[in-house]
């Protein structure tokens, strides 16, 4: 891994941490995980397994430390690597379509839903849920899916422009 790539990933995690920390809890102490959008953007820009692993672990720990969900640290640490590698696998499978904003938006929505299911499932098994699974899914995961998808639609073209101008080494093909 190059130092430039690590710095870029750290910036994405930092921005995600701020978004996650300022987001208020809405349903039973849960809040939409806006940090996922930054993790997904990092995976899109640096699609290699080392970067995905590092990004997912750091995102899981920071997301867990800033959660308002009671006992949410361990479920976040479990959720992020599973979600990151599922997203990474889907991203690699869409080799011909992955620079298309529609594909990126769909992947972001799928990734957020996967994250919500894994988080709620692991939280249920480890600490229990403060409400019904369906209510938490509908009240937190679905709004987070919409918010992350919109955020990615806005951020992805901006990130590509920055990558093109800075000549940052990524795995993403940037059209001139």
Q: What digits encode the pLDDT tens for the residues 133-164?
A: 999 899 889 999 999 999 999 999 998 888 88
pLDDT confidence of residue 168: 67
pLDDT confidence of residue 137: 92
Give the ranges where 23-100 is alpha helix by DSSP (H).
Answer: 35-45, 49-65, 73-93
Counting residues of the chain whose pLDDT is more than 90, the rounded percentage is: 52
pLDDT category, 172, cuts 50, 70, 90?
A: low
pLDDT confidence of residue 79: 95
Classified as helix, coil or strand, 95 is coil
pLDDT confidence of residue 171: 58
Cα–Cα distance for residue pair 68/70, rounded to 1 Å: 6
Cα–Cα distance for residue pair 147/6, rounded to 1 Å: 26
pLDDT category, 174, cuts 50, 70, 90?
A: very low
pLDDT category, 176, cuts 50, 70, 90?
A: very low
Whole-number average pLDDT of the chain: 87
Cα–Cα distance for residue pair 176/173, rounded to 1 Å: 10
pLDDT confidence of residue 30: 73
* Model confidence at 41: pLDDT above 80: yes
């Amino acid at each position: 891994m190059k130092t430039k790539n690590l710095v870029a990933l750290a910036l994405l995690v930092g921005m995600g941490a701020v978004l996650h920390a300022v987001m208020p809890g809405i349903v039973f102490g849960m809040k939409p995980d806006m940090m996922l959008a930054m993790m997904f953007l990092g995976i899109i820009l640096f699609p290699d397994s080392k970067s995905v692993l590092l990004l997912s672990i750091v995102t899981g720990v920071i997301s867990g430390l800033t959660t308002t969900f009671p006992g949410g640290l361990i479920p976040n640490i479990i959720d992020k690597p599973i979600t990151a590698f599922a997203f990474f696998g889907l991203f690699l499978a869409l080799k011909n379509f992955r620079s298309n904003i529609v594909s990126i938006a769909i992947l972001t929505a799928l990734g957020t839903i996967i994250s919500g299911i894994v988080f709620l499932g692991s939280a249920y098994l480890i600490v229990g849920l403060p409400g019904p699974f369906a209510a938490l899914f509908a009240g937190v995961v679905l709004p987070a899916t919409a918010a992350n998808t919109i955020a990615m639609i806005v951020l992805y073209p901006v990130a590509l422009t920055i990558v093109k101008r800075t000549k940052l080494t990524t795995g993403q093909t940037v059209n001139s």
